Amino acid sequence: MSATDTAPPVAPAPPVLTARPRRRRRRSNVAAWIAVVVFGGFALLPVYWLLATSLTPRTEVFAYPPAIFPSSPTLDAYTALLENEQLFVYLRNSVVVSVVTAVLSVVVSACMAYSFSKYRYRGRRSLMYLVLASQMFPQALLLVTLYAVFSAYGLLNTYAALVLSFTTFTLPLCVWMLKGFFDTIPDELIEAARVDGSSPLRTFVSIVLPLAAPGLVAAGLFAFVRGWNDFIFALTLAGPEKQTLPPGLVNTFIGEASTAWPELMAASLVVSLPVAVAFIALQRFLVGGLTAGAVKG
Amino acid sequence: MSKSRGGRRIGSRIEGRTFAVLLVLPGLALLAAVVVYPLISAMTSAFFEQSLLYPGRTFVGLENIRDVLAGDFWQLLWQTMVFTVGTTILPFVVGFGLALALNTRIRGAKALRGIMLIPWLVPGVVVSFLWMWIFNANYGVLNAVLEGTGLIDEPQAWLAQPGTAMAAVVVAKTWQSFPWMMVMLLAGLQTVPPELHEAASVDGAGAVRRFRAVTLPHLRGIVGLVLLLEFIWNFQHFDIIYVLTGGGPAGTTQTFATAVYDTAFHGYDLGRAGALGLLWMVLLMVLVVVYIRFSEKGERA
């Protein structure tokens, strides 16, 4: 359970014995504010610079020293993106790959998680360790052979190569998250369904899965983000027709004589948006799930 | 799904083991095809001379591994360690500082906790683009700020100088990872019972003393966990290094991850890539064993 979940929802403790010296508290507040300003500046000033550059006219961006506030903010960089047809190819690829990854990942990890949660058989623990350990293996190394494997099956430069890879790498987190959800469903419920004559598959699909719906959504969003953010697999396994936005943006903007920084910053902002939206939707699960994983190890 | 009555009876008989195993199969097949087989195969290629471009291979025994060990292995190990230690310690300092600051009752702490997560939500390539622009040698804002405040005399090509490139990459990665550290440590801080702090305070312990005597002992488990996990992840990090510097200048930001990738996909030398990868995996396995030990200890406690 996460720390925030276990905080009792009762009125705050009566402040009887808290006759703390006021000066001390004020001093520690000052320390807190210094930390917030210094580290918060490191965190947020780059975000400001991303936004500011994306609004800077192309002619102004190659000035030194740069203007900290763009003197005549413009959306030109954003409209320029709309005129680049190749970017729409990357966008479509990103959407297709991420959505299919999300769906496939939910199906595969729900099956696995249910099996781990509700059944006992030999090899179960080793399998669970394999799933957990799979996130520890370096992807740059796996790709050395994966490239040959996908090539042998004619899957290079296809959505399938990307979706299968991404789905696999979502398993550790999605399986663990969903197992947590299934663990909270009482065994008696499944037993009752069996006694009533429901087949195991039917019990799973029409009784267990609906109860775990929030978990399925969370797992799906996570898998979507995993597919959306990936760089190395899409870079290696797909060409420009099937590549997603991250390697696509590198191809489009990096390595040219003069990078179109306002456009690149605008594109960066747009690419980050779906992740931010998914996160806001996920926040409840994520923070809880992360800390649950941490406490359990 | 079992519509017929006969099917139902079979259904209840196969309940248990067979159904449980069937459920695991799709995921297991994916893991075998995408993780287990490629991993074993990549490491066995260490013992062959093999090209990405041509089929066929010849057994060469330990030759590749000897070559790598006599070549740039130690330099790569050093650079990987510099990157990994830097990107583990710095985000920890920033994340812990923010966690402590935002665990107080300062105004806006709650909103700030959310806002500080922004860098974590940004895709890795975007982190690279943004810092590439900040570090830009000719028009970069970092040069302008440092020159304006008199800290440097002339603009620096941060990403193109052997002396500064690694530090720049570490800063960019730090920016991406500190929010995760902050979230984990904040969660840990919230498990510290406030009564302990109050009792210590009544006994006359100051903020520093309370931090050392009350907060730190409580956080030991979670601090160890986040440091270890971050270390394991950074030991194999690829995206930000590859986009920011591509391992340059003169190979000074090359780590195992980028070196294995370049050797395989730009040098087409699978034998050498496999040898590097094998040595890399041995080191990584040591870390993973430490991690498993650590989390088992945590479970028992």
Does B117 touch chain A if contact means CB atoms closer than 8 Å?
Answer: yes
Q: Where are the alpha helices (DSSP H) in chain B?
A: 5-14, 17-31, 37-44, 63-70, 73-102, 109-115, 118-121, 124-134, 141-148, 165-189, 194-202, 207-210, 216-235, 239-244, 256-265, 270-300
Secondary element (H or E) of residue A291: helix A261-296
- Give the range among A8-17, B85-94, B229-238 with minimum mean pLDDT: A8-17
Domain identity same for B88 and B135: yes
Beta carbons of B38 and A33 less than 8 Å apart: no
Question: In whole angstroms, what is the distance from residue A52 CA to residue A40 CA?
Answer: 18
Tell me which architecture the domain covering A78-296 has in CATH. Answer: Orthogonal Bundle (1.10)
Residue that finishes a domain, picked among B59, B86, B103: B59
CA-closest candidate to residue A226, choices A242, A246, A253, A254:
A246
Average of per-residue pLDDT across A124-143 = 89
**pLDDT, tens digit, 9 for 90 and up, residues B204-233:** 888 788 888 888 888 888 898 899 889 999
CA-closest candidate to residue B120, choices A3, A104, A282, A78:
A282
Domain identity same for B159 and B47: no
Interface of A with B in 72-101 (CB under 8 A): none
Q: Describe the crossing of helices A261-296 and B216-235 by its angle, rounded to 10 degrees.
A: 130
Q: Which of B130, B177, B245 to mutate to test the interface with A (most CBs of A within 10 A)?
A: B130
Query: Which pairing describes strands B57-59 and B48-50: parallel, antiparallel, or unpaired?
Result: antiparallel
Domain identity same for B249 and B112: yes
Q: Which of B9, B18, B22, B35 to mutate to test the interface with A (most CBs of A within 10 A)?
A: B35
**pLDDT, tens digit, 9 for 90 and up, residues B99-124:** 999 988 788 888 888 889 899 889 99
Domain identity same for B109 and B237: yes
Domain identity same for B39 and B161: no
Question: In whole angstroms, what is the distance from residue B139 CA to residue B260 CA?
Answer: 33
Domain tally, chain B:
2
**pLDDT, tens digit, 9 for 90 and up, residues B4-16:** 443 343 333 345 7
Of A28, A167, A229, the CB nearest to B123: A229
**pLDDT, tens digit, 9 for 90 and up, residues A153-183:** 999 999 999 999 999 999 998 998 899 889 9
- Residue B132 scores a pLDDT above 90: yes
Domain identity same for B179 and B228: yes
Residues of A in contact with B24 (CB under 8 A): 111-112, 115-116, 127
- pTM assigned to the model: 0.86
For residue B172, the model assigns a pLDDT of 97
For residue A287, the model assigns a pLDDT of 54
Q: Specify the residue for token string 């050392």.
A: B212
Between A and B, how many residue pairs show a Cβ–Cβ distance under 8 A?
Answer: 313
- Residue A123 scores a pLDDT above 80: yes
Amino acid at A144: V
**pLDDT, tens digit, 9 for 90 and up, residues B241-282:** 999 999 989 999 999 999 999 999 999 999 999 999 999 999
Average of per-residue pLDDT across B19-41 = 94
Domain identity same for B51 and B183: no
For residue A286, the model assigns a pLDDT of 58
For residue B4, the model assigns a pLDDT of 41
Q: What CATH number has the domain bearing residue B75?
A: 1.10.3720.10
B136-139: list long-range contacts, CB under 8 Å, 24+ apart: B138/A62, B138/A64, B139/A61, B139/A62, B139/A63, B139/A64, B139/A66, B139/A261
Average of per-residue pLDDT across A69-96 = 92
Phi and psi of B34, rounded to 5°?
-100, -25
CA-closest candidate to residue B156, choices B170, B134, B136, B175:
B136
For residue A17, the model assigns a pLDDT of 46
For residue B287, the model assigns a pLDDT of 84
For residue A18, the model assigns a pLDDT of 46
Amino acid at B63: E
- Give the range among A97-101, A264-268, A284-288 with minimum mean pLDDT: A284-288
Distance in Å, alpha carbon of A66 to nearest chain B alpha carbon: 6
Which residues touch A183 (CB under 8 Å, ≥6 apart)? Answer: A117
Average of per-residue pLDDT across A127-155 = 90
3-state DSSP: chain A helix, strand, coil percent, rounded to 5?
A: 75, 0, 25
- The rounded mean pLDDT for chain B is 88
Beta carbons of B34 and A4 less than 8 Å apart: no
Residues of B in contact with A143 (CB under 8 A): 38, 261, 264-265
Domain identity same for B91 and B156: yes
For residue B92, the model assigns a pLDDT of 96
Distance in Å, alpha carbon of A217 to nearest chain B alpha carbon: 18
Interface of B with A in 224-283 (CB under 8 A): 225-226, 232, 236, 238-239, 242-243, 256-258, 260-261, 264-265, 270, 273-274, 277, 280-281
For residue B145, the model assigns a pLDDT of 92
For residue B203, the model assigns a pLDDT of 86
**pLDDT, tens digit, 9 for 90 and up, residues B166-192:** 999 999 999 999 999 999 999 888 888
Domain identity same for B20 and B115: no
For residue B221, the model assigns a pLDDT of 85
Domain identity same for B69 and B55: no
Domain that holds residue B50: 5-59
Domain identity same for B231 and B108: yes
Residues of A in contact with B45 (CB under 8 A): 144-145
Domain identity same for B49 and B74: no
Average of per-residue pLDDT across A213-220 = 90
Residues of B in contact with A167 (CB under 8 A): 30
Give the domain ranges of chain A: 21-74, 78-296
Q: Which of A18, A119, A122, A199 to mutate to test the interface with B (most CBs of B within 10 A)?
A: A199
Average of per-residue pLDDT across B26-39 = 94
CA-closest candidate to residue A134, choices A168, A167, A106, A174:
A168
Residues of B in contact with A20 (CB under 8 A): 201
Which value does ipTM take for this structure? 0.86
CA-closest candidate to residue B232, choices A172, A276, A3, A278:
A172
Of A32, A50, A275, the CB nearest to B106: A32
Beta carbons of B52 and A147 less than 8 Å apart: yes
- Residue A252 scores a pLDDT above 80: yes
- Residue A140 scores a pLDDT above 80: yes
Beta carbons of A231 and B264 less than 8 Å apart: no
